Amino acid sequence: MDAQQPRWLTDEEMQTWLALARVLIRLPAALDDQLQRDAGISHFEYQVLAMLSGAPERTLRMSALAVFAGGSASRLSHVAGRLERAGWVRRTPDPADGRGTLATLTDAGWEKIAATAPGHVETVRALVFDPLTRVQQRQLGDIGRRIARTVDPDGSDLDSFSG
Amino acid sequence: MDAQQPRWLTDEEMQTWLALARVLIRLPAALDDQLQRDAGISHFEYQVLAMLSGAPERTLRMSALAVFAGGSASRLSHVAGRLERAGWVRRTPDPADGRGTLATLTDAGWEKIAATAPGHVETVRALVFDPLTRVQQRQLGDIGRRIARTVDPDGSDLDSFSG
DNA sequence: CGCAAATGCTTGACGTGTCAAGTAGTTTGC
DNA sequence: GCAAACTACTTGACACGTCAAGCATTTGCG
């Protein structure tokens, strides 16, 4: 916090960091824009629907869903309210534990995610994989895993598919 | 948008994308947390102060500052209001063009950024560079530039240093 | 010149996330 | 078998970003 530490960034590191920072800002924004434009939902809402679509009975407890979708319980609660109003999700008390709430994907919700996923995956491919050589794609996998492990050590692999 | 397109993701691509998605969510959050904890400012506010600190006369027009800091004019206007209230920035009409506004870093603002930057750079180093080999750091630079160029084609290199 | 269009910035309403509290149900320990 | 502690979720106030006006100034052009 004070004075010059012995580890500033070299020119090359700075160039790398600037490029990465741009990706960190623009890529999520671009993905959100695509979803908003084509489906009228946020990336987090997409994740919620996607996680439910891949779960047994298309149903998950709110607490589990929050972890898989990568958000807080509060955030999920707000979003679930909207998704329920839209008719894509239904919430019912967990019969096995009265405290819990089960979120279930409705048929309309399933159609929504089925209609939305291909376009979203296509966007991911176009923005992330297409600009890279096959070798770089593999390098990015290793690099991403290393940074992810550092930044979020106990981040259970967030699960299954999604896009 | 409809039906199965011919380009889904392979298993390896999916693993790569999951790792990258985790980085995309967690790394900005971690950097924001560090700044909030150690300096009580957001990453965007940091960028604003950093850009001003590197500008001639520690002064930039609001419109230019918005581009360099990577935000909209409106967002910058709100933030500049807060930074001005904190005593770190001063706004004055541009004498050369009555429409314009010049933002200047005050002495207090300079001290703020000088005290904050080393810790922030250290965090970037710890989270991004330390987990990678030297070779991977160079690979990441190339990969980042390619994706950045794709996702934000006319993104003038956002400028100078920052952390 | 003079007025319409363009530019630069600010403002306010709105949506969404966070944080802190609140409610309901369940487990623990005596 | 009951009270205290804990767990699961919801709610409401607040902060911040966006979007659509709005205002002031400048530029373009007949």
The model's pLDDT over B13-46, given as tens digits with 9 standing for 90+, comes to 999 999 999 999 999 999 999 999 999 999 999 9
ipTM: 0.88
CA of A140 to C1' of D21 (A): 45
At residue B154 the predicted structure's pLDDT band, cuts being 50, 70 and 90, is confident
Whether residue B157 lies inside any domain: the answer is: no
Min Cα separation A61/chain B (Å): 22
Q: Looking at the DSSP assignment, which residues form a beta bridge with residue B89?
A: B105
Q: At what angle do helices A134-151 and B134-151 cross, to 10 degrees?
A: 110
User: Which residue of chain B is at minimal alpha-carbon distance from A23?
Assistant: B148
pLDDT of residue B153: 81
Asked if the Cβ–Cβ distance from B20 to A140 is below 8 Å, we say yes
Which residue's CA is nearest to the C1' of nucleotide D17?
B75
| Average pLDDT of span B69-98 | 97
Distance measured from the CA of protein residue A60 to the C1' of nucleotide C30, in angstroms: 36
Residue A105 phi/psi, 5-degree rounding, is -80, 125
Print the domain residue range for B146: 35-151
Query: What average pLDDT does the segment B94-111 reach?
Result: 97
Report how far residue A161's alpha carbon sits from residue A143's, in angstroms, rounded to the nearest whole number.
20
pLDDT surpasses 80 at B158? no
A93: distance to nearest CA of chain B, Å?
30
Domain membership flag for residue A148: no
Chain segment A15-67, per-residue pLDDT in tens: 999 999 999 999 999 999 999 999 999 999 999 999 999 999 999 999 999 99
* pLDDT for position B41: 96
> Which residue has the closest alpha carbon to D6 C1'?
A99
- Residue A2's pLDDT band, with cuts at 50, 70 and 90, is very low
Q: Are strands A89-93 and A59-61 parallel, antiparallel or unpaired?
A: unpaired
Rounded to an integer, the average pLDDT of A119-133 is 96
Q: Do B131 and A149 touch (CB under 8 A)?
A: yes
Residue A22 lies in a domain: no
pLDDT band at residue B159, thresholds of 50, 70 and 90? very low
Average pLDDT, chain A: 91
pLDDT > 70 fraction of chain A, expressed in percent and rounded: 91
Could you give the CA distance from residue B52 to residue A66 in angstroms, rounded to a whole number? Answer: 39
CA→C1' distance for B72 and D17 (Å):
9
In a domain, A15, yes or no: no
Residue A7 lies in a domain: no
Number of domains within chain B: 1
Read off the tokens for A46.
Answer: 């997409």
Q: Contact A163/A125 with Cβ under 8 angstroms? A: no
Is B6's pLDDT higher than 90? Answer: no
Chain B residues inside the 8 Å CB shell of A128:
17, 20, 147
For residue A157, the model assigns a pLDDT of: 52
Cβ contact A71 with chain D strand, < 7 A: no
Q: Give the pLDDT band of residue B86 (cuts 50, 70, 90).
A: very high
DSSP A110-153: HHHHHHHHHHHHHHHIIIIITTS-HHHHHHHHHHHHHHHHHHST
CA A104 to chain centre: 19
Determine, for residues A144 and B19 on separate chains, whether the beta-carbon distance falls below 8 Å: yes
Do the domain assignments include residue A81? Answer: yes
**Structural domain includes residue A104:** yes
Cα–Cα distance for residue pair B125/A44, rounded to 1 Å: 29
User: Which chain C positions come under 7 Å from a protein C-beta?
Assistant: 7-12, 16-21, 24-27
Q: What is the pLDDT of residues B53-63, one digit of tens each?
A: 999 999 999 99
The reply to whether B21 falls in a domain is no
The domain spanning residue B146 has which CATH number?
1.10.10.10
